[in-house]
Structure 1
């Protein structure tokens, strides 16, 4: 089938069905567990394959499996599996308890979420990946929530918020590279513009976290003992990740390091270590399957012209420079909501955004920042995004329970809207 330039609105039906089943059912019944995300995505995927009767079933299955097998989707699944194994192995040898007790001994409960957010900001901006930050910090956030009266969903949302801060800003982030390159501007110029747009959101997020956790207390009132050796797996993972080592190597090394310490101190035998790693992988299987089906469903939607329709729908309504900036924001927002991948959404919409920016005299530093800001905003909010699925899987909670606490991603979008409305920042000359 040859896609028409204006796309096909009907092709978006599977995505609509997925959202209605997953979120709509929970809203109507007041119980989001009534429609598990894995069932919702399988139903929506079946609808996607059943559509487009002019195409042979074999071709539609081929398109679906290519979406499932997209390199970004497969990489995400591998990260999920390794993150699950590392989390379980580290937990079994006492790394989580030791790390959490170290944090509790250094900070009052009222500052734990603020500290977790700031650490997440620092790690993500230095390592340039939100997924790497999420899988490194989520187990610590889980441990903090278990030892205090801080809601688990709040702790996981805080981890995501810190992760999205650096994903949006880091000079080595793939989203920064993609947005700067597609808009033909330098990454340093994009960083400077972007930083001043989002900084208020980060400050306000820290204030909100401090206010809502100011009355928090620790559940176990005793002296927090910890063995610094058991903290080493997390410290090593964080340090190596910050140095820019590939996240797969980081997680694999973390599993081995935590396992070796566990074997030496007697926390594990050879058999129990293998069983712990296996259980961690099993814990993430459901989330991994969901990610695969989402990839396939998006592949069908794109093949049938759904993404093209959304892009044309937005661009046809641009009339002014400010409208152009909102149009670019709308383009990348719709793309991210549809694909649940901020890098892919920027790559998809970047060339079109560049044309819009050139036509309406939008500075490329601003258009690059808008692309990255709104992609990061939605990536930190959509309950079927990789970051949300990862922390929800590790914490064994629904992604929907995390959404109300997504302070930084929401403030990120608000900052972007305000920057467009007031024309901030003002540039002396286009570059």
Structure 2
């Protein structure tokens, strides 16, 4: 049984190993998927068509994400070319941003925007062209800034009322979204504050300059050969830099405001991104940054093709991989092991958190982890814990937080995760002066580190009782059923 369980998990080890040695995800994911299919044939005697159906069915669940990806890439392209990014950069510079404050400012802005939009993917796509080039202008540390906005973009995806991961993770555990947000609200804000302090302290420790950046000087320092490469690789970035130098109307910030308002009103992510794209075109025509509809459609074509050339293909393979791994119930031995080894309720809940992380590592997709591991966590808790309905509800709230937080923030620490692939793709697309890799997103993502580590530590130690509304019940108020049965057996024999 143990050997068979390890065999079912071996595709995870293969995928992780290939990514660790630097294999491109477009190679690693297909190889791991084919190997997972072989494992399914051997361990579960599955037929080839059953395997294909499992893979395709899981990919079907990601279709909406593919459209969101294309829209996100297109909005990033339009925000760079129409003057939205340039207007925000110039306003930020006028407020006195420096190399020391650019990363923490980007972190706080993306945190707020992600709450409003409910999407980390869309937030990162909208903010990367702004803050990466703003970082260049003020002379900040590009890795610190990209890690900061990556972590900030995930904040609202974990606690936003309109976030799909928040809604789905709460629904699986059968808890109300508003109750979930109340349960983890102060903890989430605490993580935000601690992370902001760490980001700012790191910028000081790096010895970054305190003087205000001059856009013209920074842009003029870009070598001629870099301009040529930039024009070939990312024409929209050239437009953005020229607009920063020449200036654009302040009203070009309105498209970003429209996206915020639409998100606050509860419009779907695709609608928010679509409004951002359309409004940037309309205001760009007024400002003269876009000369024709044909030119703008060319930007959309570039965004769509960039999304389809790498990240969507990679996600399809990862989705297929997750579908096969879910079908063979690769995590069943682990759940059985957990129920047989834990000694109290807190250990069980901590193990649920670890299970969520392992599922995220295996499936390389936070939503796949939520829908695959979420029911396992719920079943483990319901089947093994003796508690009142009110106490069980609090435990389910923690499971929902596990599924979402360890899915969204946990993804930021997994090099082969589709999240990281998307962020690397966007960052590379909008800022070709730097070659980004997975570890560049992870290295300074303090928000992910603080959220994941604190959630697990607070759960295991019981220190969550010091955070309002965040405590979960533990012994003697709740008990493991197996411990109750043992006590009853001892009483009968004595």
Which of the residues 184, 194, 198 maps onto 1:208? 198
Q: Confirm whether residue 279 of structure 1 aligns to residue 302 of structure 2.
A: yes
1 CA distance for matches of 2:199 and 2:78? 30
Superposition RMSD in Å:
3.0
Q: Provide the residue aligned with 1:29 in structure 2.
A: none
Q: Provide the residue aligned with 1:44 in structure 2.
A: 32
Which of the residues 118, 121, 136 maps onto 2:126? 136
Q: Which runs of 4+ in 1 moved over 6 A?
A: 428-431
2 CA distance for matches of 1:68 and 1:16? 21
Q: Residues 37, 348 of structure 1: CA spacing in aligned structure 2 closer, same or farther, 3 A cutoff?
A: closer
Q: Confirm whether residue 385 of structure 1 aligns to residue 403 of structure 2.
A: no
2 CA distance for matches of 1:206 and 1:321? 33
Q: Residues 221, 402 of structure 1: CA spacing in aligned structure 2 closer, same or farther, 3 A cutoff?
A: same
- The alpha carbon displacement at 1:289 in A equals 0.6
1 CA distance for matches of 2:401 and 2:292? 51
Normalising by structure 2, we get a TM-score of: 0.76
- The alpha carbon displacement at 1:341 in A equals 3.2
- The alpha carbon displacement at 1:266 in A equals 5.1
Q: Secondary structure at the match of 1:213?
A: helix
- The alpha carbon displacement at 1:299 in A equals 1.0
Q: Confirm whether residue 220 of structure 1 aligns to residue 210 of structure 2.
A: no
Q: In the TM superposition, what whole-angstrom CA distance separates every residue of 1:151-180 from its partner, at most 9, and x where no partner exists? A: 434333222211222222223433333444
Q: Provide the residue aligned with 1:240 in structure 2.
A: 262
Q: Confirm whether residue 376 of structure 1 aligns to residue 376 of structure 2.
A: no
Q: Confirm whether residue 337 of structure 1 aligns to residue 361 of structure 2.
A: yes
1 CA distance for matches of 2:361 and 2:14? 14
Contact 2:360 2:407 in 1 (8 A): yes
Contact 2:192 2:447 in 1 (8 A): yes
Q: Provide the residue aligned with 2:139 in structure 1.
A: 149
Q: In the TM superposition, what whole-angstrom CA distance separates every residue of 1:328-377 from its partner, at most 9, and x where no partner exists? A: 11122222222233344233333443344453457424444344332333
Which of the residues 248, 257, 281 maps onto 2:279? 257
2 CA distance for matches of 1:376 and 1:43? 25
2 CA distance for matches of 1:337 and 1:200? 26
Contact 2:117 2:260 in 1 (8 A): no
Q: Provide the residue aligned with 1:78 in structure 2.
A: 67
Q: In the TM superposition, what whole-angstrom CA distance separates every residue of 1:187-238 from its partner, at most 9, and x where no partner exists? A: 4443233123333322121011112224246363669744213222222223
Higher relative contact order (CA 8 A, sep 6+): 1
Query: What 5-or-longer segments of structure 2 have no aligned partner?
Result: 218-243, 429-435, 466-470, 479-494
Q: Provide the residue aligned with 1:405 in structure 2.
A: 444
Q: Provide the residue aligned with 2:149 in structure 1.
A: 159
Q: Secondary structure at the match of 1:171?
A: coil
2 CA distance for matches of 1:307 and 1:390? 26
Query: What 5-or-longer segments of structure 1 have no aligned partner?
Result: 27-34
Which of the residues 7, 11, 35 maps onto 2:8? 11
1 CA distance for matches of 2:130 and 2:335? 40
Q: Provide the residue aligned with 2:432 in structure 1.
A: none
1 CA distance for matches of 2:437 and 2:185? 32
Q: Secondary structure at the match of 1:268?
A: coil
Count of equivalent residues: 417
Whichever of the two has the greater Rg, that structure is 2
1 CA distance for matches of 2:472 and 2:146? 41
Contact 2:113 2:123 in 1 (8 A): yes
